[in-house]
Amino acid sequence: MHYFHPKRLIRKLINKRNMLSIKIQAWRDGVNLEIGDNVRIYKCKISAEGRSKNNHLIICNGADVQNTNFSYFGSNSTIRLGEYVKINAGAKTKTSLQVGSNTTLHIGKGSLLSNSIIICTTDFHPVINEEGMRLNPDKDIFVGENVWIGRNAYIGKGATILSQSIVGAFSVVTKSFSQENILIAGNPARVRKEKISWTR
**pLDDT one-digit tens code per residue, 145-181:** 999 999 999 999 999 999 999 999 999 999 999 999 9
Torsion of CA 148, 125, 44, 187, to 10 degrees: 20
Q: What is the pLDDT of residue 4?
A: 45
In a domain, 157, yes or no: yes
In a domain, 23, yes or no: yes
Domain that holds residue 16: 2-194
Report residue 1's pLDDT band, with 50, 70 and 90 as the boundaries. Answer: very low
Q: Please state the domain count of the chain.
A: 1
**pLDDT one-digit tens code per residue, 92-140:** 899 999 999 999 999 999 999 999 999 999 999 989 999 999 999 999 9
In a domain, 199, yes or no: no
Q: What is the pLDDT of residue 168?
A: 98
In a domain, 145, yes or no: yes
Report residue 23's pLDDT band, with 50, 70 and 90 as the boundaries. Answer: low
**pLDDT one-digit tens code per residue, 65-87:** 999 999 999 999 999 999 999 99
Q: What is the pLDDT of residue 26?
A: 54
In a domain, 148, yes or no: yes
Reply yes or no on whether the pLDDT at 197 is more than 90: yes
In a domain, 15, yes or no: yes
Angle at 95 between CA 176 and CA 13, to 5 degrees: 115
Reply yes or no on whether the pLDDT at 3 is more than 70: no
In a domain, 67, yes or no: yes
Question: CATH number, domain at 185?
Answer: 2.160.10.10
